[in-house]
Structure 1
Amino acid sequence: MNTRQIILDTETTGLYPNSGDRMVEFAGLEMVNRQLTRNTLHLYIHPDRDIPDEAAAVHGITLADLEEKNAPKFEQVGRQIADFLRGAELIIHNAKFDVGFLDMEFGRMGLPTVEELGCKVTDTLGMAREMFPGQKASLDALCTRFDVDRSKRVFHGALIDCELLGEVYLAMTRGQFDLMADHGGEAGGSYAAAKIQRPAHLKVLGANETELAAHEAYLDTLDKITEGKCVWRTEADA
């Protein structure tokens, strides 16, 4: 898997991109082969309008803050954002909201939409509702479900939300990439490699108690994701 993915989030002045609300923060974290890279784009953006108190209470960003930071307007950074996103798979929680604002802001500049940039959009909100029907699917709820530490999240900032969403997304999709021998691919290859006879000169180091406990905790997480169908434990019990 060589897909370039971007964990993405935005903060805005309100909920309605087609009724005058604007973007005030953008964050994107690049991930390749399920590993975060150093290619990150984080911008505070002057909305060229007021920021209602109810919006500031959510993300903690005020117009005074943006003016003190000398934050650019979207017209100054829109092309940079578009180039950063081009051709990537975008991992977004409640993607309709963020894509709506991006398309609105791009449209004001005559830039291509997210779709026209060749981006695939993966909505983790939809994924969560499908995986856990009838249960809470907010980012906070998913952090709790997957034991992701959100203690540093005081406000709904785009950057911290991206960091949390990255961990949640990896946990949600882990079952697709672990030891699934019957599906082949990377995981199947790893499983098959374990059966190759070990050369006599290689020394075997057994896991200590701490490592074994960590391994069991990891398998517990896989059991949650696969509803008790963790392949490692299935094979061990066979």
Structure 2
Amino acid sequence: MREIIFDTETTGFDPKTGDRLVEIGCIELVDRRETGNSFHAYFNPERDMPAAAEAVHGLSIAFLSDKPLFASRVDELMEFLGDAPLVAHNAAFDFGFVNAELARAGRPALDMTRMCCTVQMARKLHPGAKHSLDALCTRYGIDRSHRVKHGALLDAELLAHLYIEMTGGRQIGLGLAATPGVPAAATAAPLPIHVPDRPWREPRPHMASPAELARHADFVTGLNQPLWHDTV
């Protein structure tokens, strides 16, 4: 199954009050494995950058001023997303900003049924614990030492590792996922089997013989004060 892990950076918290999307990073997974395919873009927000937002992601207006508008790269983004489920941390936030930009570009919104939120997953898996990306990376042993500031592609990469761990880890693949239409057994590498050179013999019976049952009954009869008599 193809899934897209994505993250965004913005000028603030609410697209309804004029905040804009300035960066998006997407990572492709197929059968919970990273394929190496990604999409990353910076966008000119056509407005100022609040100091509080710049402190989080480090993206200044000077840096973003020569970047393309969202509308000029929307076709590439939509082609990359395809119809795959979309996974994000606090996904309603990211969906809200992407859909606001799609509306400005005259495009239909992303279907919210495609949304998978790892914050909601974490609340079910670890109730009462911290559910930030940093906290969850620490919980699952994911190295985030290179994360000095937020970045959409970097955070999407971390989230991809986290999502894989939260949905069963690397074990879920085990190389058993078959090519579509091909049974898994046909694609799995055969295990080497050593067959010793020895004469054939009939399998041993796994039921007690009448003589063995009789000896067992005699043994039980001779037990001195068996424990099960105390419960009768």
Identify the TM-score tier after normalising by the shorter chain: 0.7 to 0.9
TM-score (norm 2): 0.74
- 1:111 corresponds to which residue? 107
Structure 1 residues not aligned, in runs of 5+: 180-184, 203-238
Q: Please, what is the CA RMSD of the aligned residues?
A: 2.7
Say how many residue pairs are matched.
Answer: 187
**Alpha-carbon deviations, 1:205-229, whole Å to 9, x = none?**
xxxxxxxxxxxxxxxxxxxxxxxxx
- Report which of the two structures shows the higher radius of gyration computed on alpha carbons: 2
Question: Per chain length, whose mean CA-contact separation is higher, i.e. which structure has more relative contact order (CA < 8 Å, sep 6+)?
Answer: 2
Structure 2 contact 164–170 (Cα < 8 Å) conserved: no
**Partners in 2 of 1:34 and 1:52 — Cα distance?**
37
Matches within 5 A, 1:14-25: 14-25=12-23
Structure 1 contact 78–105 (Cα < 8 Å) conserved: no
**Partners in 2 of 1:75 and 1:42 — Cα distance?**
15
**Partners in 1 of 2:191 and 2:154 — Cα distance?**
46
Amino acid aligned to 2:30: V
**Alpha-carbon deviations, 1:186-217, whole Å to 9, x = none?**
6xx89xx9xx9962179xxxxxxxxxxxxxxx
- 1:164 corresponds to which residue? 158
Amino acid aligned to 1:6: I
Matches within 5 A, 1:88-103: 88-103=84-99
**Partners in 2 of 1:197 and 1:43 — Cα distance?**
45
**Partners in 1 of 2:71 and 2:192 — Cα distance?**
60
**Partners in 2 of 1:176 and 1:133 — Cα distance?**
23
Structure 1 contact 7–92 (Cα < 8 Å) conserved: yes
Amino acid aligned to 1:30: E
**Partners in 2 of 1:78 and 1:143 — Cα distance?**
31
**Partners in 1 of 2:160 and 2:5 — Cα distance?**
6
1:144 alignment partner, SS class: helix
Structure 1 contact 79–111 (Cα < 8 Å) conserved: no
* Structure with the largest fraction of helix: 1
Structure 1 contact 14–55 (Cα < 8 Å) conserved: yes
**Partners in 2 of 1:77 and 1:197 — Cα distance?**
48
Shift of 1:38: 2.8
- 1:133 corresponds to which residue? 127
**Partners in 2 of 1:106 and 1:87 — Cα distance?**
16
**Partners in 1 of 2:95 and 2:87 — Cα distance?**
11
Structure 2 residues not aligned, in runs of 5+: 178-183, 197-232
Structure 1 contact 13–21 (Cα < 8 Å) conserved: yes
TM-score (norm 1): 0.72
**Partners in 1 of 2:192 and 2:151 — Cα distance?**
50
**Alpha-carbon deviations, 1:36-87, whole Å to 9, x = none?**
12321100110010010000000010000113xx210111112221222120
